[in-house]
Structure 1
Amino acid sequence: MKKLLLFAAFAAFTFTTAKAQSEFRIGFKGGVNFASVGGDFTDNSNGRTSFHIGGLVEIPIMEKLAVQPELMYSSLGNSNEDSGSESYGGLTYSYKEESDLKLDYISIPIMAKYYIIDGLSVEAGPQVSILIKAESEYDYSETVSGGGETISNSESGTDDVKELFKTLDLGFGIGGSYRLDFGLFFSARYVIGLSNVNDFNNYEIEDLEDFYDGKEFKNTNNVLQLSVGYSF
């Protein structure tokens, strides 16, 4: 009798877990992006902290397997800082330049989601992103000193640089999430860029690749996303 009761309890638990894991769900999430742009001309680059927000649908395929397409607004990019000084003719010239590249995308990840245990899942899949805005915020200052005098000059502003970047960006994401019984979930995902995001064909300098000995320039978006959301 004990064995029968234990078997019934185990079967009920297994059925409940499988059912919870294979339900169709709709949800939303948002969180922080730790983004960077890798590749050429990024020696002085730092990461950029930004955000993502959007919705998702979880579609059950098998007992522990689901497909999760998402529609996200995600802000990527990087920051740059450069400074230096040199002296000549009794004068000292110093400069400092800071810039923040903002690349805003509509992203469509399609994740294959596998439940390890109830609530805990791992996920992986491709992501397609469409660039909707690209801006560069800059702050430049310079000083010339000598003979007891100092002359300073500074400039700041925002430039639209969308023509320098390709509209389509492809990536691949991998991560995991944990969902509580009442629908709140937490997730972490790393998306590595697979395609070249820059488009120097529109750059003002003609024959740019020839200027750099025919080198093909390549930059990719990379981002770590930490999210909190709710699904029902």
Structure 2
Amino acid sequence: MRKLLLSTVTLLLIGFAANAQPGIRLGIKAGANFNELNSNTFNSGFDFAYHIGGFAEIDLNRKIGIQPEVLWSQSSYTRGSNINAIYQTLPSDVKLDYLAIPVLLRYSVTNMFTFTVGPQFGILMNSNENLLQNGTAAFTKGDLALVLGGQINLKMLRIYGRYNAGLQDINDAPNQEKWTSKQIQLGIGLRL
């Protein structure tokens, strides 16, 4: 499933590049992630990680457009001291690597400033934890989030900030507390 999705997204981006129209711009981006889980198992407060990837800006008209992205995005969380016995085998610092696919609606307030909103689909690609004491995986294989943000558009440079609110429980252990993610992303993009 992961390979099929990754292949599909790659082919779409290649197709965008090959058929680039005046209303389509491609670029690369990178930045910082500040992550937190709503959970008693992990410390409150935001932990630092990163993201890197590519984007397309597709204009539907002068004000509205779509911005699909493909990002390698890492989330980092610190395990707290007040934990259930089932989570004892988790490392103190948990790092999760996601293939994140935001599909954002763009609204250009001016040529220089754009609001973005939309869903982000995350596929867990790698983690530094494997199994809990009972033999089950600690984290689900996917995540769904709502993305809200803003972007400053300079000629070739994009400076952005966004908030990603997790919409589903990413705790894969049965009958345990619900874990939902929160993430603040700050970064820069370069239009190609």
**TM-score grouping bracket, smaller chain normalisation:** 0.7 to 0.9
Unaligned 5+ runs, structure 2: 1-21, 83-90
Equivalent in 158, 165, 176 of residue 139 of structure 2: 165
Shift of 1:226: 0.3
- Kept in 1, the 8 Å contact 2:40–2:80? The answer is no
Residue equivalent to 2:24:
24
User: In the alignment, does 2:84 pair up with 1:111?
Assistant: no
1:100: how far off?
0.7
- 2:164 is matched with 191
Say what the alpha-carbon RMSD is for the aligned residues.
2.0
Residues 76 and 221 in structure 1, CA contact (< 8 A), matched pair in contact too: no
Is the 1:190–1:223 Cα contact (8 Å) retained in structure 2? yes
1:48–1:79 CA contact under 8 A, matched in 2 = yes
* In structure 2, C-alpha distance between the alignment counterparts of 1:80 and 1:39, rounded to whole Å: 10
Equivalent of residue 217 in structure 1, options 172, 177, 180: 177
Name structure 1 gaps, 5 residues minimum: 1-21, 84-97, 136-158, 202-208, 210-215
Question: CA–CA distance in 1 between the matches of 2:46 and 2:186?
Answer: 15
Give the conservation status (yes or no) of the 8 Å contact 1:177–1:187: yes
Q: Secondary structure at the match of 2:23?
A: coil
Spell out, residue by residue over 1:103-140, the C-alpha distance to the aligned partner (whole angstroms, 9 max, x if none).
Answer: 110000001001111121011000100001122xxxxx
Offset at 1:40? 4.1
1 or 2, which has the higher strand percentage?
A: 1
Task: Say whether residues 1:134 and 2:127 are aligned partners.
Answer: yes
Are residues 1:227 and 2:168 paired? Answer: no
Given that 2:66 and 2:105 are in contact with CA atoms closer than 8 Å, whether structure 1 keeps it comes out as yes
1:160-212 per-residue CA deviation (whole Å, 9 max, x = no partner) reads 3482111110000000101112x1110001100000001103xxxxxxx3xxx
Determine the C-alpha separation between the residues in 2 that align with 1:61 and 1:23.
Answer: 8
Identity fraction in percent? 32
Counterpart AA for 1:54: G
Aligned residues: 159
State the match for 2:52 in structure 1.
53
TM-score normalised by structure 2 residue count = 0.76
CA shift at 1:77, angstroms? 2.9
Q: Which has the larger radius of gyration?
A: 1
- Residue 158 of structure 2 contacts residue 189 of structure 2 at CA under 8 Å; is this kept in 1? yes
Pair 1:38 & 2:28 matched = no
Quick one: which amino acid aligns to residue 163 of structure 1? A
Contact 1:129 1:170 in 2 (8 A): yes
For the residue of structure 2 that corresponds to 1:82, the secondary structure is coil
TM-score scaled by length of structure 1: 0.64
TM-superposed CA distance for 1:45, in Å, is 3.9
Contact 1:33 1:51 in 2 (8 A): yes
